[in-house]
């Protein structure tokens, strides 16, 4: 490892931080703004439903309660946070999520992180949802996941006076399923994690150390930035298996969208979100980097280069927003009972 670090330092010594920053920006990488107003505008611009449903504190707090409330599931024991655990990098740390009646995901799909997901141009691995509210509806009503229905969700929430009041306060409306998913999406808009990488792109030349800068240079030079670009270093639909066959392609039956396109995952907080790839088949970040080289770029990334890129990628681990677990309102005699389907 000492030799790797020394070689990284040697490479970085030939670079100036401003040159590397300029190269990164020309490659299509975008920083999260330092300014809170500019960041809020970026979030709104990335949210197709932001004009219809602007972000307000009442909507954020309501969405947070709903995100953590397991009563949105048929069984009453699965919440959004079950598979997108905010204490585990916004994912669940297993290859494929487990849902209603301990049902494994039938397609062996890995739960992607919810952090920074507002900046994905599409949601789900096959890009079938355009924004966060549309994504929230999917797992809630999928039989192998939360196994609920819009009617069940609305009936349960309407039976709880606190929720009736909070929807009226937040949306000036009675409860309906669209507003349930919208509120969750509005809360998820706030799950943004600025990192030292952003500080570097914003002009702080010392935000990354020499080893991280060296890994960043390799990341750009190898072509990783071709798919992992923009503000999220991913989040767009990309062709998969461009150069060679993914060795774990037969783990699950996921093949991408109708054109075989797959959403490139964000690389933000990547060290927190193993296992990797759409089917969670690879646990090692180093192995994931080398696999991307062969499958997508048709090149061999050496162990030394993969270690260096990995050092850079860990600089993308951001400052997590402080999330206090909300106290959920009490059910009433009118609240339907959990359906565990034992």
Active-site residue set: 145
Distant-in-sequence, close-in-space partners of 221: CB < 8 Å, separation ≥ 6: none
**Cα 72 vs. chain centroid, distance in angstroms?**
21
User: Beta strands of the chain (E only): which ranges?
Assistant: 237-239, 261-263
User: Beta strands of 125-264 (E only): which ranges?
Assistant: 237-239, 261-263
Distant-in-sequence, close-in-space partners of 156: CB < 8 Å, separation ≥ 6: 71, 72, 331, 335, 336
The one-character DSSP state at 238 is E
For residue 105, give the nearest of 138, 81, 74, 77 by alpha carbon: 138
- Alpha helix positions (H), 27-149: 36-45, 57-68, 80-83, 132-141
Backbone angles phi, psi at 301, to 5 degrees: -95, 120
């Amino acid at each position: 490892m000492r030799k790797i670090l020394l070689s990284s330092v040697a490479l970085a010594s030939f670079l100036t931080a401003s040159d590397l920053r300029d190269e990164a920006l020309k490659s299509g990488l975008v920083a999260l703004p330092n300014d809170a107003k500019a960041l809020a505008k970026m979030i709104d611009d990335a949210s197709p439903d932001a004009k219809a449903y602007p972000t307000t504190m009442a909507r954020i707090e309501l969405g947070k309660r709903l995100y953590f409330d397991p009563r949105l599931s048929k069984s009453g024991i699965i919440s959004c946070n079950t598979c997108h655990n905010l204490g585990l990098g916004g994912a669940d740390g297993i290859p494929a999520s487990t849902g209603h009646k301990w049902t494994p995901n039938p397609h062996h799909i890995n739960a992607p992180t919810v952090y920074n997901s507002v900046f994905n141009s599409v949601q789900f691995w096959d890009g079938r949802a355009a924004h966060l509210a549309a994504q929230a509806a999917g797992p809630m009503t999928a039989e192998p996941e939360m196994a609920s229905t819009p009617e069940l969700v609305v009936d349960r929430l309407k039976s709880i006076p606190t929720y009736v009041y909070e929807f009226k306060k937040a949306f000036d409306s009675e409860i309906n399923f669209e507003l349930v998913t919208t509120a969750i999406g509005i809360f998820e808009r706030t799950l943004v994690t600025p990192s030292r990488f952003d500080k570097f792109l914003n002009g702080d030349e010392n935000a990354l150390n020499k080893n991280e800068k060296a890994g960043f240079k390799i990341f750009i030079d190898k072509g990783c930035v071709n798919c992992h670009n923009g503000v999220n270093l991913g989040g767009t639909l990309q062709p998969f298996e461009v150069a060679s066959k993914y060795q774990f392609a037969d783990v699950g039956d996921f093949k991408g969208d109708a054109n075989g396109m797959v959403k490139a995952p964000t690389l933000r907080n990547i060290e927190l979100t193993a296992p990797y790839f759409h089917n969670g088949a690879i646990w090692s970040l180093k192995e994931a980097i080398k696999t991307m080289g062969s499958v997508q770029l048709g090149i061999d990334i050496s162990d030394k280069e993969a270690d260096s890129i990995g050092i850079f990628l860990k600089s993308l681990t951001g400052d997590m927003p402080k999330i206090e677990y909300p106290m959920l309102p009490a059910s009433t005699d009118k609240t339907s009972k959990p359906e565990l389907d034992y």
